[in-house]
Chain A
Amino acid sequence: MNQKRQQIPIPKKNVLFLFIFSALLGVMIISQAYFIVAIIDSIFLKGVSFSTVLPMLGLLLLIMAGRVLFQYVNRRIGVQMAADVKQAFRRSLFHTAARSSFHSSFTSQSGKKVSTVTDVVDETDSYYSQYIPQIIQTSLIPFLLLLVVFTQHVHSGLILLITAPFIPIFMVIVGLQTKKKSEEQLDQLSAFSGSFLDALQGLTTLKLYGQTERQKKKMETSSLRFRDATMEILKIAFTNSFMLEVITMLGIGIVALELAIELVIYESLSFFTAFFILILVPEFYTSLKELGTAFHNGRSSLGAVKKIEEERTEEVSMWGKETLSIMDRPPLIETENISFTYGEKRFSLEHMNIHIPPYQQVAIVGRSGSGKSTLLHLLAGLIVPTEGQVKVEGRRLLDYEENEWFRHLSYISQHPYIFSGTIAENIVIGTDREVTKKDIEEAAERSGFAEVVRDLPKGYETAVGEGGRGLSGGEMQRLALARAFLKRPSVIMFDEPTNGLDVKTEQILKKSMNELRKSATVITVAHRLHTVQEADKILFLDHGRLIAAGIHEELLNRVEGYREMVLIERGGANG
């Protein structure tokens, strides 16, 4: 089991660059202030001529360009980092997913997984493109500014030092308050968030029942209630920034007053220094405030990172390296006391011992929820038993190389998956061999799929699947059979369709299976009487347990549950 979690670290090289460019940016901010002050000082107080300040003006323009440039480079590094990390996240998600085993519940969560791969990964973007550059920038620049202010004028530096901590402290306090408040309002919020979608999805029902007016009113009130709940939370945030502005204002005000007093009364300060500090002080507070905003943004992205980590730690199945020697007969399949549990007692299969010699026709029978499909998945190696072993040719199934086993296996599910591509491509997917067009046509002919193809203007080149032509249930079954005819497997696992298909497809299904089974072991989750009647062995399951095994007549006589299900409820409950 290789379950090592590879942490995706914050790229160190990028961080180093960010530090360097942030420091340069800080230097630029300070120099910009310096030169603005120097120019005004020269012109206003020293009364020098315009041409004397020209070099300084030129330098200032360069510094401004430098400031923009370094800021740009910083952001660019952030964007690059975000792109790299997103790609790495996705790669590792795909990697994990491609190696994970198949859960019977897999498809039910597909929507969530698609959103993990697309949206949730995208949510991490701002963490790397904004948060990290911002945090580096704002952890560096205020200190630089403070340092400069201290060198210029200790009193002002002290004022900054005293007022500054109020900003982060305040942000933390208000942040906690907001969190508490939003938790209180959470019910209100979550109740609303889906209700608009709910109303839209139910529009047909609402219309057929003539209830749209009522729903509209309901929506309006809940929408306004949602607004009020949101405003409650926002108000805290706004008060927060109000207080921050006040702190900043007070800070700047105190500094300004103190500068003015020293300038006028004690005359202990030059205009140059005072003005220089006055320009630096707002920059100082602004970057502190940005730090708080960055923290806020970063927290929401962190949630996304956590979600991705959860996905990536899903269990991974591991196949061995053994080859399954080429045989002229199907392999022997056995299970040794296999059990499978899924979730908290939500589903389980208990201690099954099954022996399937070559060419045997096995029917798995049971009510819905009895574990038929799970057993089939276990035998196919799509899921791994929690206890016991599936053995093929006397060796652990998982000791073989994955493809060694799947090469011999065809799995025809109730809803075969049609990939986007042409019909020909969809048939060829069944095999690793090089196949000719003739092989494809022959397989289609034998599976009865050829007559479907004949009706299509583009024939085998017709696009199907996502964005292509849809296929009906019967047509999909026939396509799956065509795949099997092309592959010529020695083991066929077949989840028989539960609903009655059309008469034609039923006939084809029966005929095709009769032909395929000549050269293969067939294990069927059976829903048809003739399948169980013709089976060499029936496995009758109930509540995850193997109740009985034997042929049809034997079970009819011996097992009451079987008799009830097959004969009494026949033509009734499906699935």
Chain B
Amino acid sequence: MKNLFHTMKVMKREKKDIVISIMAGFVAGVTAVGLFGASGYLISKSALAPPLYALIVVTSLVKLLGFIRAGSRYAERYFSHRATFTVLSHLRVSFFEKLEPLAPTIFQSYKSGDLLARIVGDIESLQHYFLRVFYPPIVAMMVFLATMLFTSFYSIYVAAILVIGLFLTTCLVPAYYTIKQQKKAPEVRRKRGVLSTEVTEFLYGFRDLKIYHKLGEKETRLGVASNEYVQEQKSASLNLISGQSLHTFVSLFITWLVLSIGAYLVSTNQLDGIWLAMLVLISLTVFEEVGAMATFPMYLQESQDAAGRLSAFMKTEDREGRQKNETDSMPPLSEPLSIEMDHVTFQFPDSSRPVIQEMTLSISSGQKIAIVGPSGSGKSTLLQLILNIYDATEGEVRLNDLSVKNWKKERIWKNTKVVLQDNHFFHGTVKDNLQLAADRVRDDEMVSALEKVSLHSFSLEQPVYEKGANLSGGEKQRLAIARAMLKPGRLWLLDEPVSSVDAWTTKQVYHQLFEEASQDTLLLVSHRLAGLEMMDKIIVMDKGRIIEAGAYDELLDRKGYFYEMVQIEKNLF
């Protein structure tokens, strides 16, 4: 329940709608009970040949109750759903706020979009919390209490039986099945995970599986994984339906008790027989009204899981602490930054080998540096250390002679033009995506930035799909460069910015880029070596260490690792 605390807090903001839906639910429930009670009374009364006007009064009451019930049911549904969707919107915003300080670190540890999709799904499933978990028991309790109060005028025993029924159907039975369900759910999820891994492997490894003639074997394994998952699901469903059946049986049994006790009381003249039919009908109806409680365990389980995952996710990543958002008050630095690394070592918490080892490096203000090396040599991590996305395990990274630890992250980012390997583009237009760069960017500035990256054919109004799905890899990279160009800042950090751009265009883009950055500090990570001749210095990394450094020609003359790399690249086409 603790995990759902946050959801409850958010829900509090929609107090009015919630109160209205609870009240409407109560009225609907009570009128239904009243309706059937009244018709029971009506029919009993008629049997005793009463005056006609009495009948007409009761019948009109029945009709009236009917309309009130339909109307309040409508109100209940309307307000509860409106509250739900408003709460959902608050939840999205509040989770976005909570996630915000954790970025970009979380995106390093969870590369796949799966996790984010799951977060979105979990937040969506919290909508059931209010609709099916939070308020139905409240309404059920209230309807029950009112019914009990009413029946206690006729028979205290019947009222007592209803109390027992209330306790059984809204507390004991749901609680029992909730606990049982909680034991089943993790197993279902685990089996689902196994199946989904097997399927993914089957699809991605399809070509190799086919050639190695392992498809048949894999098919069998898939069948087994699927069967285990289905069986697990089945056992969870059976648990649920036996819960529902028990719920129904308890309700019927209570009605039976009401009938038995009532019959006994009437036969011993402790109760007027005219009320018997009414009491039995009331009992039948009131349990039908709390029928929603039968699905309570399932939804409680779902909400708890979702909330649990969300809060676990927030907790593990919350070591960052929240930083004040003071970006707006910080003016951009007027001088390009200098960078120093002093015996920096970095290791991911769960890995056995450091990504960066004992790295010492100094980049003075305005220098243009390239970092090259094979994949996995730690080039990108180096940029992330400078951006203070990660903290160095040992040693110190300094910007303008001040340790990055003493910088506000936002201040570093505000002064940096970053192009990452995976640049995100939002659903919208080219213009929308470029406008992220700064608060006030003029159209002509954007157009000229597009020209500089050789995207002449792009118009500002051109649509961009989510994740830039309608752009090619090279177009996305160039659009990211254009966006960086429009952003203020005097430090360029570029991670493989043109790896998908053809050679000729690369040359054009580099040319414009260096012109733009002529007065700035620039760090370029690249595995392609062509075009690096104009850099002040090239740093060659392998396995987290600097193995060579120097200007292009110097390194070629040395005939070392860099020279070999150049030879290989010459060999490529």
Report A205-248 CB contacts with B as 1/0, cut-off 8 Å: 11111111101100110011011001100110011011001100
Asked if B448 lies at the interface with its beta carbon under 8 angstroms from chain A, I say no
A39–B506 alpha-carbon span in the complex (Å): 92
Query: Is B70 within 8 A of A204, CB to CB?
Result: no
Query: Is A501 within 8 A of B374, CB to CB?
Result: yes
Instruction: Look across to chain B and name the residue whose beta carbon is closest to the beta carbon of A224.
Output: B89
Query: Is A210 within 8 A of B327, CB to CB?
Result: yes
Residues of B close to A264: CB separation below 8 A: 46, 49-50, 52, 55
Question: Closest 6 A-B residue pairs measured CB to CB?
Answer: A572-B503, A502-B374, A249-B66, A223-B89, A202-B424, A227-B85
Please give the distance in Å from B330's CB to the nearest CB on chain A. 10
Query: Is B427 within 8 A of A194, CB to CB?
Result: yes
A400–B91 alpha-carbon span in the complex (Å): 60
In chain A, positions 502-524 with a C-beta closer than 8 Å to chain B are: 502-503, 505-506
Query: Is B99 within 8 A of A200, CB to CB?
Result: yes
A492–B507 alpha-carbon span in the complex (Å): 37
Residues of B close to A64: CB separation below 8 A: 249, 252-253, 256
Report B265-284 CB contacts with A as 1/0, cut-off 8 Å: 01110000110110011000
Of the candidate stretches A177-185, A297-305, A385-393, A410-418, the one touching chain B is A410-418
A residues within 8 Å of B by Cβ?
32, 36, 39-40, 43-45, 47-50, 53, 57, 60-61, 64-65, 67-69, 71-72, 75-76, 79-80, 82-83, 86-87, 90-91, 94-95, 97-98, 102, 106-107, 110, 113-114, 117-118, 122, 125, 129, 191, 194-213, 215-216, 219-220, 223-224, 226-227, 230-231, 234-235, 238-239, 241-242, 245-246, 249-250, 252-253, 256-257, 259-260, 263-265, 267, 271, 274-275, 278-279, 282, 380, 382, 402-403, 406-407, 409-411, 413, 416-417, 419-420, 429-430, 432, 457, 465-467, 472-474, 498-503, 505-506, 527-530, 565-566, 569-575
Query: Is B424 within 8 A of A205, CB to CB?
Result: yes
A570–B530 alpha-carbon span in the complex (Å): 10
Given A198-B426, A382-B210, A67 contacting B59 (CB threshold 8 A): no
Query: Is A118 within 8 A of B195, CB to CB?
Result: yes
Residues of B in contact (CB 8 Å), total 149
Given A205-B436, A209-B487, A196 contacting B120 (CB threshold 8 A): yes
Which among A213, A260, A265 is the interface contact of B42 at CB below 8 angstroms?
A: A260
Report B70-86 CB contacts with A as 1/0, cut-off 8 Å: 11011001100110011
Residues of B close to A60: CB separation below 8 A: 256, 259
In chain B, positions 330-377 with a C-beta closer than 8 Å to chain A are: 352, 373-377
Write 30 A-B pairs (CB below 8 A) sorted by A numbering. Answer: A40-B259, A43-B267, A47-B267, A75-B244, A86-B233, A87-B226, A97-B206, A98-B215, A107-B203, A196-B120, A202-B426, A204-B420, A208-B104, A231-B78, A231-B82, A242-B70, A253-B62, A253-B63, A260-B55, A267-B49, A271-B46, A382-B210, A474-B374, A474-B375, A502-B542, A503-B374, A529-B571, A530-B571, A571-B529, A574-B528
Query: Is B203 within 8 A of A249, CB to CB?
Result: no
Please give the distance in Å from B532's CB to the nearest CB on chain A. 11
A217–B223 alpha-carbon span in the complex (Å): 47
Query: Is A61 within 8 A of B573, CB to CB?
Result: no
Query: Is A44 within 8 A of B564, CB to CB?
Result: no
Given contacts A79-B234, A246-B67, A282-B36, 13 further A-B contacts (CB under 8 A): A44-B274, A67-B252, A90-B223, A107-B203, A122-B233, A203-B100, A219-B93, A238-B81, A274-B43, A473-B376, A501-B375, A503-B568, A574-B528
Query: Is B276 within 8 A of A44, CB to CB?
Result: yes
In chain B, positions 235-278 with a C-beta closer than 8 Å to chain A are: 237-238, 241-242, 244-245, 248-249, 252-253, 256, 259-260, 262-264, 266-268, 273-274, 276-277
Please give the distance in Å from A197's CB to the nearest CB on chain B. 5
Residues of B close to A75: CB separation below 8 A: 241, 244-245
B residues within 8 Å of A by Cβ?
35-36, 39-40, 42-44, 46-47, 49-50, 52, 55, 59, 62-63, 66-67, 69-71, 73-74, 77-78, 81-82, 85-86, 88-89, 92-93, 96-97, 99-100, 103-104, 107, 113, 116-117, 119-120, 123, 192, 195-197, 199-216, 218-219, 222-223, 226-227, 230-231, 233-234, 237-238, 241-242, 244-245, 248-249, 252-253, 256, 259-260, 262-264, 266-268, 273-274, 276-277, 280-281, 325, 327, 352, 373-377, 387, 410, 413-414, 416, 418, 420, 423-427, 436-437, 466-467, 483, 487, 499-500, 502-504, 506, 527-530, 542, 561, 564-565, 568-573
